[in-house]
Amino acid sequence: MTDEVDAGRTLELDRAVFHSWSAQGALAPLDVERAHGCEVVLGDGRTLLDFSSQLVNTNIGHTHPRVVEAIQRQAALLPTVNPAHANRARGEAAQRILRAAGEPFSKVFFTNGGADANENAIRMARLTTGRDKVLSTYRSYHGNTGAAVVATGDWRRVPNEYARGHVHFWGPFPYRSEFWSTSPEQEVERALHALRRIVEAEGPGSIAAILIETVPGTAGVIVPPPGWLAGVRAVCDE
């Protein structure tokens, strides 16, 4: 635990940090010093339950001993590797991801983060289909880079709309339905009908990809009702 002077010092140092998606002048960040399991400890010693798993990305808990041990072991061996080289740990990770993903996947492309992954996915879809348009939902987050931020469905994309070929549609959300539905089944049926109509209106021959989160997280946690993901898959196949 730091004393009060030290806790103040953290926030003073933090003024040099640009916080993404924030009005810089209005910032009052938490001074998070460390974390273990599902708890974070603040600079002033208070312990909080981390209900958000940081950015919904630490779902196995903070500082899990096996993860810490693995990072320490690899850092002592080889902390970074030229992408052109082969490496046992990276190959092992790729094989495990392929086993989890199943057929027909045969390659894993490691990127630096989520936005980078989506940029490359969009480029690959455009290159392999020869088509341009990318459909994604409102109430989504895909990253803060050129195409990923425009694929993002919330208002934060608007001042950033410099990438072209992005079309948005409403996904299912029974709590705030755009489709006047009265049940999850009806919500899915109507959302899929709306998606089909958008595909027809945009021209199926011009669409390179439909980019969606399985469970939108950063733009609000929305667990899709049963049938939505399979239904979108079917629309893509059609």
Ligand X SMILES: Cc1ncc(COP(=O)(O)O)c(C=O)c1O
Return residues touching ligand X (CB under 6 A): 55, 113-115, 118, 141-143, 213, 217-218
Nearest residue by C-beta to ligand X?
Answer: 114
C-beta of 18 vs 180, nearer to ligand X: 18
C-beta of 189 vs 213, nearer to ligand X: 213
* Shortest separation between residue 86's beta carbon and ligand X, angstroms: 25
* Shortest separation between residue 157's beta carbon and ligand X, angstroms: 13
C-beta of 116 vs 202, nearer to ligand X: 116
Q: How far apart are CA 109 and CA 92, in angstroms?
A: 13
Residue 25: what residue type?
G
Q: How far apart are CA 106 and CA 141, in angstroms?
A: 27
C-beta of 45 vs 113, nearer to ligand X: 113
* Shortest separation between residue 231's beta carbon and ligand X, angstroms: 20
Q: How far apart are CA 21 and CA 10, in angstroms?
A: 21
* Shortest separation between residue 218's beta carbon and ligand X, angstroms: 4
Q: How far apart are CA 146 and CA 194, in angstroms?
A: 27
Q: Which of 154, 114, 134 is nearest to 206 (CA)?
A: 134
Q: How far apart are CA 160 and CA 147, in angstroms?
A: 9
